[in-house]
Structure formats: C-alpha cells, structure tokens
Chains A and B, each alone.
Chain A
C-alpha cells in the first residue's frame, strides 16, 4: 500500500508563515497536490502539479515536492486560511491517495 502522512495540526499567527508537510515513499517522483476544506464545505484545490496555483488561488499559497516530502506553504497567513488541508498523489498500484489531513489554526 501507499500512505501519505501529514501532521495533525499546525498553528500560526496572523501574518506569519505556515508550512504543512506531506510524507510518502518517493513522493518527489509523483505529482503532489493540495486541497483546502473549510467546515461544512467541499474541498478546494489550492496547489496542483507540486507547485502550481489554479486560477483564483491567492499567491500566498505555494508548494514544493522533493525526495519523500511535499510541502504546502501559506505566507502571510490570514484568518480565512483556517481550514483542513489534504495532500494527494497518484500511486500506480493503488490509485489516488489522500494524506491524513492537517488542521491549520490561525491564532
């Protein structure tokens, strides 16, 4: 099987930088993407193909992927960024895999 592991929670002060990691075997050899999900809402794609932002996603969201770790970085975090974040990748043996999820709290 293939697993993607994220920290359960990340806390950040408004205006500071939040970094969320996603760890998986040779994840850097795959495309990683990231979703934001607010309570009671559907997931929203914020990063695709490791580091690209979809239309309409603020520039403060950025991504990277190398080795065994993909990272989502939120620069200048705002209160509206408080949400759950999930990474995702495709594995040829089992299909699409989501990370365990990280709750970002803006203190």
Chain B
C-alpha cells in the first residue's frame, strides 16, 4: 500500500524549532519529488516547500523562506522539514505529499507542474506561549 506517515508535530513556543518527518512506503520514494503543504485551523491549503527526487531542486514559499529547510534521505525513504524561528502564524496541520499521478495501473513521477497525488494524514504544529 502506498503510504505517507508524518510525525514530529507538537506544541512549541514562538521562536522555537521543530523537525517534521514523513516516512514513505509502498512506492519508489527516490523517483518522486516531494512536498510539504500546511493548513491552518479552519483555513485553506498553503504550499510550504518542495524537493526534487535527487534534492537538486528545492523551493520554498516566501512565508517560510530563510526559516524552514526541506531535506530527504532516499536510503531511509524519508522526507524532513526543519522549522526554525517559529511564529504563531505557522500553527497548522502539516502534510507531506508526493508529486505525480497514477493512470491505467501505472504511476508516474510527473513534471514540476504536476499534481500532488498521495498525501499523508498530517501532523499538527502549534506555536504558542
């Protein structure tokens, strides 16, 4: 079964740090670009960061640039998000998401402008004093 499982969320004080992890299984993790997407309570989806399959390309939303760092370990089938200098507005459920699509029984990694086809269950990050 194709699965993404996030962990590492919790309560942290403003200015603090947290490291999120996403464990992938059921597919060839090293072939896919991966993403972090967040959703503040009662709000819409917000893309946070992306990393290509070999870590050659990394992108960040302006709202987290300079504070968050995305990384991956293909040998461990894992994606990470190091979050520093956390603010109250970073409070959200954080999802990891695979980039690609499945059609006709086969799955493809797709291009940079492709959709996010597999999502984890999310991990809650609360930034509060």
Contacts from A to B (Cβ < 8 Å):
30-31, 33, 35, 37, 42-45, 48-49, 52, 54-55, 86, 88-90, 94-101
Contact, CB under 8 Å: A95 / B114:
no
Q: Could you give 7 example pairs across A and B, Cβ below 8 Å?
A: A33-B115, A42-B120, A43-B95, A44-B119, A90-B112, A94-B62, A95-B47
Contact, CB under 8 Å: B120 / A95:
no
CB-defined contacts of B101 to chain A, threshold 8 Å: 45, 48-49, 52, 54
A33, A86, A95, A101: residue with the most chain B Cβ atoms closer than 10 Å: A95
Contact, CB under 8 Å: A42 / B121:
yes
CB-defined contacts of A35 to chain B, threshold 8 Å: 45, 116
Contact, CB under 8 Å: A96 / B95:
no
Given A31-B114, A54-B102, A54-B117, check contact A96 B44 (CB 8 Å).
no
Smallest Cβ-Cβ distance to A90: which chain B residue = B113
Q: B115: which of A42, A88, A97, A99 is its contact (CB, 8 Å)?
A: A88
Contact, CB under 8 Å: A98 / B44:
yes
List which B42-74 residues lie within 8 A (CB) of chain A. 44-47, 50, 59-62
Contact, CB under 8 Å: B45 / A45:
no
B46, B116, B121: residue with the most chain A Cβ atoms closer than 10 Å: B116
CB-defined contacts of A100 to chain B, threshold 8 Å: 44
The CA of A89 and the CA of B46, in the complex, are separated in Å by 12
Q: B35: which of A37, A45, A55, A96 is its contact (CB, 8 Å)?
A: A96
A45, A95, A96: residue with the most chain B Cβ atoms closer than 10 Å: A96
CB-defined contacts of A98 to chain B, threshold 8 Å: 37, 44-47
Smallest Cβ-Cβ distance to B43: which chain A residue = A101
CB-defined contacts of A31 to chain B, threshold 8 Å: 113-115
List which B76-107 residues lie within 8 A (CB) of chain A. 95, 97, 101-105
Contact, CB under 8 Å: A97 / B47:
yes
CB-defined contacts of A101 to chain B, threshold 8 Å: 44-45
CB-defined contacts of A96 to chain B, threshold 8 Å: 35, 47, 50
